[in-house]
């Protein structure tokens, strides 16, 4: 998959150094994957939740952070829509962000 905007992840882990390892691992796995449908995610990740509007939520760093992505399955693109703490996540609508 082509992940669009790694810079968002980098900026986040610069503020939260404990997130760097898990986010690097997620990025590596995502760029080596090719997800055709949502079930491809759930087969590969136990910590993913599929939500409406082609979005997926990943628990990162032992469920300390949340990563919301928008996946364009036919084009093999993953857009990072949000990365933050649980408190920050609680203030957004993951289906529209």
pLDDT for position 24: 96
Crossing angle for the helix pair 6-15 and 20-32, nearest 10 degrees?
Answer: 170
Domain boundaries, the chain: 2-89
- Ranges in the chain, pLDDT < 70: none
pLDDT for position 65: 96
Q: pLDDT tens digit string along 65-87?
A: 999 999 999 999 999 999 999 89
Is 38 in a helix, a strand, or coil? helix
Backbone angles phi, psi at 67, to 5 degrees: -120, 120
pLDDT for position 34: 92
Q: What is the mean pLDDT of the chain?
A: 94
């Amino acid at each position: 998959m082509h992940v669009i905007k790694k810079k968002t992840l980098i900026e986040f882990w610069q503020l939260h150094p404990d997130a760097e390892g898990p986010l690097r691992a997620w990025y590596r796995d995502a760029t080596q994957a090719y997800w055709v449908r949502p079930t491809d995610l759930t087969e590969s990740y136990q910590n993913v939740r599929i939500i409406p509007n082609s979005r997926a939520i990943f628990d990162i760093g032992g469920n300390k952070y949340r990563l919301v992505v928008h996946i364009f399955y036919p084009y093999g693109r993953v857009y990072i829509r949000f990365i933050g703490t649980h408190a920050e996540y609680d203030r957004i609508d993951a289906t529209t962000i």
